A and B are shown apart, each in its own frame.
Chain A
Amino acid sequence: MYTEKVMEEITNPQNVGEIADADAVGEVGSPACGDIMRIYLKVEGDRITDARFRTFGCGAAIASSSMATRMIRGMSLAEAWAVSNADVVEALGALPLAKVHCSVLARDAIRAAINDCRTRRGLEPWEVRSSGCDGETGHGPGPENG
């Protein structure tokens, strides 16, 4: 069901973990799917110098978060904001159609983290109008945290 490239990303995900003194944390959870993705950023000036993640979810969710954190390392916040879920899928090669929403989750987690960074700096968050598994983007914890 997944390509070899995606399987490699699932069996050997990059950037797993937390950043103790993160400058931003973005978490999205999708109640419909019961998946949770959390992205941690270290930001110097306008540059993302480190990005890590923790994900509870399917293979595509793990692969997307791994690939997304790889992609945004070194980017400016605006560049990272512009990363679309299609960009993540393209970097992964391909995802099954039913799993494309898992890459949307990765984009949403990045954007949630970027806005967390902006908020911490006293800036207006950028506008979010996107969707996860069930057509909503959430911050708080996922559906079944316990």
Chain B
Amino acid sequence: MDHAATTFMKPEVLAAMAPYFSRYFGNPSSFYRFARESRKGVEEARGAVGAALGASTDEIFFTAGGSEADNWAIKGVALANRERGDHIITSAIEHHAVLHTCEWLEKQGFSVTYLPVDEFGRVDPGDVEDAITDKTILVSVMMANNEIGTVQPVAEIGKVAHDHGVLFHTDAVQAIGAVPIDVDAMGIDLLSLSGHKFYGPKGTGALYIRRGTRVENLVHGGGQERGRRAGTENVPGIVGLGRAIALATADIEGHNRRIAGMRDRLVRGVLDAIPDARANGHPTERLANNANFSFRYVEGESILLLLDARGICASTGSACSSGSSEPSHVLLAIGLSHEEAHGSLRLTLGDANTEEDVDHLLEVLPDVIGRLRQISPLTPISARMPEAD
């Protein structure tokens, strides 16, 4: 139940990739006919990505993943538009691929506004507007959050940015196959995505760049990707990403209905069975597959370990599991205390999950939390089971 971390690769995706490892191993840049199949595979994938976003094929550039796409979008816009301004607006709950990139740009002399979010994790488009100055060159707000699943009012934010002549980038890594996307209707100038979040291969991604947008190159070298991103193409990976995005966006609504049904039963079941628990994120504006809880008096890593021992994979925003000293910046940004952030648990459903998995989770989790509360010094006596000797 950790599909937000990564997904398995669909058999259809693997099958689509297979010929490009050995049979069609040609370099798409080569002149001879043999390379034609590789080139065709890459261009078909580009078409599939464009179709999924409502974009043109020539606005899609393949990268080695979501992090590279985020880095390229933000650094590329910053460096290419420096004479116009040096101010970037983003949110406090972005993925580190965005936040650390912005922090790096601050060291290069740019100034960055990190907008707060409300208790549900939403950015207020009004705050975006208020933060825009005549030095602002870019607004970067993610489409959906990877920890708490909150979906942002992207179209409103895009409109605000465009009203002020500012470029708008969105990290849509978690949104592909979950949120219907139309880059024109949503006012998006740049969009990042990553193959391994929608049943495609790891280490593959893409950046959408609206035609005419000024973006400096990040990876210099050969003339691949129309001179915008150097490096011999990861042909099988790109083919796999193309197949995966076509599958993931074929029936978003149907997929969401099935997943949200399971998720809602899971959330209700957990909150009914476990006292002193809260669900984090937005009640309705959220990814269909995401459930995020805080359980008081217990620590997230120990929850994960006991769940793992019972065959359930999950994730937490606790610092103890990441080895860093601060718990999740997202959970702190929505106003959770350190203790609540430490006691967080993220469950993200996907195509591999069934109603039986939900049953199993509902059977195991109350026991796990109960056992850890038995151990914790923070648990009030009233919330503790009688001590066994």
Contact = CB atoms under 8 A, between A and B. Distances in A.
A34 B340 CA distance: 10
A36 B305 contact: no
B302 A34 contact: no
Contacts of A125: none
Interface string B272-295: 000000000000000000000000
Interface residues of B, number: 25
Interface string A105-146: 000000000000000000000000000011000000001111
Contacts of B321: 58
A32 interface: yes
B323 A145 contact: no
A10 B302 contact: yes
Contacts of B15: none
Given A133-B325, A143-B338, A144-B337, A58 B375 contact: no
Contacts of B378: 36, 56, 145
Given A7-B309, A33-B320, A59 B302 contact: yes
Contacts, number: 75
A2 B375 CA distance: 19
Given A16-B374, A34-B319, A98-B323, A56 B298 contact: yes
Contacts of A36: 377-378
Interface residues of A, number: 31
A16 B323 contact: no
Given A11-B309, A34-B327, A134-B325, A57 B302 contact: yes
Interface in B367-382: 374-378
B377 A27 contact: yes
A135 to B, nearest CB: 11
A55 interface: yes
Given A57-B320, A58-B299, A143-B338, A17 B325 contact: no
A42 interface: no
Contacts of A146: 337, 339
Interface in A84-110: 98
Contacts of B376: 54-56
Contacts of B95: none
A13 B374 CA distance: 11
A34 B319 CA distance: 8
Nearest to A102: B320
Nearest to A11: B309
B342 interface: yes
A55 B375 contact: yes
Contacts of B337: 144, 146
A46 to B, nearest CB: 25
A23 interface: no
B387 interface: yes
B377 A58 contact: no
Contacts of A11: 305-306, 309
B305 A10 contact: yes
Contacts of B327: 34
A81 to B, nearest CB: 22
A33 B319 contact: yes
Contacts of B339: 34, 144-146
A58 B320 contact: yes
Interface in A1-19: 2, 7, 10-11, 13, 16-18
A134 to B, nearest CB: 7
A62 B302 contact: yes
A11 B375 CA distance: 11
Interface in B202-245: none
Contacts of A38: 377
B375 A62 contact: yes
A100 B375 CA distance: 20
A7 B319 CA distance: 19
Contacts of B318: 34, 58
Contacts of B338: 34, 143-144
A58 B309 CA distance: 15
Interface in B338-378: 338-339, 342, 374-378
B377 A55 contact: yes
A35 B378 CA distance: 10
A144 B296 CA distance: 11
A134 B374 CA distance: 26
Contacts of B301: 58-59
Given A10-B302, A34-B339, A133-B325, A54 B320 contact: no
B328 to A, nearest CB: 12
Given A34-B338, A34-B342, 11 more contacts: A11-B309, A16-B374, A33-B319, A34-B339, A35-B299, A54-B376, A54-B377, A56-B299, A59-B301, A98-B323, A145-B339
11 contacts: A2-B305, A11-B306, A33-B320, A34-B342, A35-B320, A36-B377, A54-B375, A55-B376, A56-B377, A133-B325, A146-B337
Shortest 4 CB-CB distances between A and B: which pairs?
A: A58-B320, A54-B377, A144-B339, A58-B301
